[in-house]
Amino acid sequence: MMENIKYICNYEAPFGRITIGEKNGKITDLCFNEIKVSENVILKKTDILNKAVRQLDEYFLGKRKEFDLEYDFLDSIRSEFMIKVWNELLNISYGKTVTYSYIAKKIGNKNASRAVGMANNKNPIAIFVPCHRVIGKNGNLTGYYGGLDIKEYLLNLEKKNIN
């Protein structure tokens, strides 16, 4: 693989098409809209993308509770704070939810709930990095890059399949 090339594939999720991106053997994107093919972005299923697709299939069937993939947050626009938030999201167990303030405390900045929300909104690897598991402190579903209907779908899927 060439260093600057990103490979993408489209995936038909139960709620619509998503695009998965990979670069240098690591997942870089899971988008609810299509990534445009360009000089440095090639539509092609690599071994890593095939693995991601298999794991998504298992997840949507309720058979997979954890993803076994490597991620590269550095491929997207990010800050150290965002990367801290995204890494903390990986610690939220399947079928569980936590609040934005909980994540803020876990990363050592108890007053950063809003910033945690903004980092969640910029999460480049949704579903795999489960920002859908973060809810408002009153228990309500709040903003989600893919839309609240998809967030609700993912949470209900996990709740139904937890055991």
Residue 150 backbone dihedrals phi, psi, to 5 degrees: -70, -40
> Which helix (H) or strand (E) element contains residue 11?
strand 6-13
**Running DSSP on this structure, what letter comes out for residue 131?**
G
Question: In degrees, to the nearest 5, what angle opens at C-alpha 155 toward C-alphas 131 and 69?
Answer: 50
Active-site residue list = 131
From residue 84, give the alpha-carbon distance in Å to each of 44, 59, 153. 31, 25, 26
